[in-house]
Structure 1
Amino acid sequence: MTAFATLRRAGVLATALVALASGVLATGPARAEAPEVHISKGYGILYLPMIVMEHEKLLEKQAKAAGLGDVKVGWLELDGGNVINDAMISGNLDIAAIGVPGFLTLWAKVKGNAKLEVSGLAGLSATSLYLNTNNPSIKSLKDFTAKDKIALPGIKTSLSAVVLQMAVAKEFGDDNYAKLDPMTVGLPHPEAYTSLVSGKTEVNSHLGSPPYSFMELENPQVHRVMNSVDVLGNISLDLVYAPKRFIDANPKLTAAFLAALEEADRLIADEPARAATIYVQSAKAKLSAEEVERMIKDPDTKFSTTPNGVMQFANFMGRVGSIKTRPASWQDLFIANVHSLPGS
């Protein structure tokens, strides 16, 4: 039984959501909450719970069940921590799915600014990131040269960028964590995949997630240099977050979002074939549902609201100076109604 299933049976998160709703009712008269919410998702299997939520209209369902009526949900597809955070700061997003490093960058930057502060809502997903290359001379991180170009969704602060830095630090020491940064270029995963398999651009490597990482290896000219799980373990790579002022103004809608996320995770766990079909239909991927289902069932791929290993990123980024403010614990980063989960 997975940790998620155990928690679901125990009703830990459900109890927290009920407590949150009760607290809202007890503190004063009901307030009108937002009739519309704007949410972002990204590319790939890591965002499957958000893709399922959108396709099945789970937030609309949970919002109505919470007495909020017909809430309009708008979805944006964004890739790269910098892009997502810019959209959040500009007010174009209410809730975002993002790589853990991108969230930590913004959290540390705006902490103490009441107008801009953000909080994590829940964990989202874990999987393996593959560093793939079409350069036959590259067998390890030591083999990259200034002539090589590594595609990432965003340089320096994206999930892939920080995972690469952590791998480099493990190989060459913390003082050299940015050794490969000059070789990185910002490209969304679909474009990076196309560049790598075509072999016609300066991009000869890509640190990406499924399905793109799996699809790349189908090309006989491409091979894998590194698996992120070998470096970090199987920890949460993506999470969902929102501005604190949105959370404070919309407690019932926030609870409805978490309930919808839990429902999406249950669908993926109980009906992986259906989840795979939803992914193929929604992502317009050139994959069969059977291929996606195999990726969903990969031992390294997990979907859970429990934030797992977030402090591993925070401690590294604080240690090398990527963030100036380091959280004391993972709970400092997330809203109170997930604090009872066995996070780390």
Structure 2
Amino acid sequence: MTQSPELTRRSLLAAGLGAGVSIGLGLPAFAAQREINIGINTGLPFLPYAVAEQLDLFNTTAKDLGVTDATFAIRRINVATALIDAILTQNVQFGTLGNQALLNTWAKTRGNVNFRGISAYWKGKFSVFSNTDRIKSFADIGPDDKIAVQGPKSAQALYVKLAAMHYFGPDQAHRFDNQLVLLPHTEAVTALTRSDAIQVYMGISPYSEFVAKSPRVHLLATSRDFADPATTNAFLGAIEPVYTAHPDVPAVIIETLNRANKIILEDPEQATKLYSAAEKTPLSFDELRAVIAASNDDYATVPNGLMKVANVMRELGDLKDVPASWKDFFTGPITQTEGS
């Protein structure tokens, strides 16, 4: 289910925004131009942002929705923990993070800066690779093997726990906690394919497809082998000082992502060209187009399965309190949708 343009317009009007006049005077409001920076990482999970960036969709959509005093820009921060820090310090106003990080950040900032999600954006899979012959499945990973993930509270790190439970038993979720190595995807690819610094890498597209071509690497599993494939894995969020200061921006972002997702779904060729212009990729154009065409329904703004993730984290001792609804983790117009 996607957020409709009509819903975003209603959200703006309900907030008293987009009227463009000073209350009581009937005169045009000349507010200072707001700079809205959106922090993202790299890789195909961020394809909607690349499409929107290349087509200037954020600024176009803002104008369409009557938000004329804000300009939008994308900032790429390739370390997951640094991106979360940027969100909390307002070096970016809105930023991306995985499902586990969203829930942890929500919990740790309650009663302080009150972080909330404003949109989902990706429900794709992670692929698990090894460069070691003795490791033929996740069950063969030993106590001395190193596993590369983006961050200690990343969605990758959560899926390592889910895999440990699946292959070793429900009491083994933290089996690999001390074996995680925190690396950006580009560095993890190099470490896996050119050295023995790590033995296992949980990757995303297009890095996964590039790694798969290496003769010294083989696939162990994908996250869909041991977890619900419908679960949303990535989100965009902000802290309370930001979303209260810019209550019209979440509607703009959601509508922009929905427009970008429509392009990805209907025109993978164009989406491939736009992504190639935005980011360097280790794949050829034809290889990249095939990957995008095969995964073009992985992009959605409505959260799915977040309460399942929250309850699993609570059972593992990684999240103390779980509200009754996923909407408690979010703010803005996305809470008017039927997520889970």
TM-score by length of 1: 0.89
Task: Indicate whether 1:266 and 2:262 are aligned.
Answer: yes
The one-letter amino acid paired with 1:15 is E
**8 A Cα contact 1:33 1:68, kept in partner:** no
Name the structure 2 match of 1:72. Answer: 71
2:140 to 140, 143, 149: 143
State the alpha-carbon separation in 1 of the partners of residues 273 and 196 from structure 2. Answer: 32
Distance 1:300 1:167 in 2: 25
CA distance in 1, matches of 2:296, 2:270: 20
Aligned residue number for residue 252 of structure 1: 248
Query: Residues 96 and 33 from structure 1, CA distance in 2 versus in 1: closer, same or farther, beyond 3 angstroms?
Result: farther
- The answer (yes or no) to whether the contact 2:117–2:330 under 8 Å persists in 1 is yes
Contact 1:41-1:51 at 8 Å conserved across structures? no
In structure 2, the CA distance between the partners of 1:33 and 1:224, relative to structure 1 (3 Å rule), is: farther
Q: Which amino acid aligns with 2:98?
A: G
Tell me the CA shift for residue 69 of structure 1.
2.9
Count of residues in Structure 1 that have an aligned counterpart in Structure 2: 331
Deviations 1:69-126 (A, max 9, x none): 363333221245422221111221111111111111101111122xx11221111012
Q: Distance in 2 between matches of 1:249 and 1:32?
A: 13
Give the aligned partner of residue 8 of structure 2.
17
Native 8 Å contact 1:317 1:323 kept in 2: yes
Identity among equivalent pairs (%): 28
Distance 2:296 2:277 in 1: 23
Q: 2:322 aligns with which of 322, 326, 338?
A: 326
Alignment-derived partner of residue 282 in structure 2: 286
Deviations 1:174-228 (A, max 9, x none): 4321111221100001110111111x24112100111111111111221111210
Q: Report the alpha carbon displacement of residue 33 of structure 1 after superposing the two structures with TM.
A: 7.5
CA contact (8 A) 1:123 1:240 kept: yes
- CA offsets, 1:15-55, max 9 Å, x none? 32122112122899479476101111112111111111111
- Residue 175 (str. 1) matches residue 171 (str. 2): yes
| Aligned-residue RMSD, C-alpha | 2.2
Deviations 1:232-257 (A, max 9, x none): 22221111111233222212222222
Structure 2: state its 5+ residue gaps. Answer: 24-28
Cα pair 1:81 1:159 within 8 Å, conserved: no
Tell me: CA distance 1:251–1:70, structure 2 relative to 1, closer, same or farther (3 Å): closer
Partner amino acid, structure 2, of 1:237: N
Residues 70 and 20 of structure 1, relative CA distance in 2, 3 Å threshold: closer
Question: Are 1:277 and 2:276 matched, yes or no?
Answer: no
Q: Distance in 1 between the 2:165 and 2:330 partners?
A: 27
Matched residues in 1 for 2:105 and 2:199: separation? 30
Which secondary structure state, in structure 1, belongs to the residue aligned with residue 288 of structure 2? helix
User: In structure 1, how many angstroms separate the alpha carbons of the residues matched to 2:138 and 2:280?
Assistant: 33
SS at match of 1:276: helix
Q: Which amino acid aligns with 1:51?
A: A
Alignment match, 1:210: 205
More helix by share: 1
TM-score by length of 2: 0.90
Partner Cα separation in structure 1 for residue 303 and residue 160 of structure 2: 21
SS of equivalent to 1:69: coil
Partner of residue 47, structure 1:
46
Task: Give the distance between the partners of 1:318 and 1:309, measured in 2 at CA.
Answer: 15
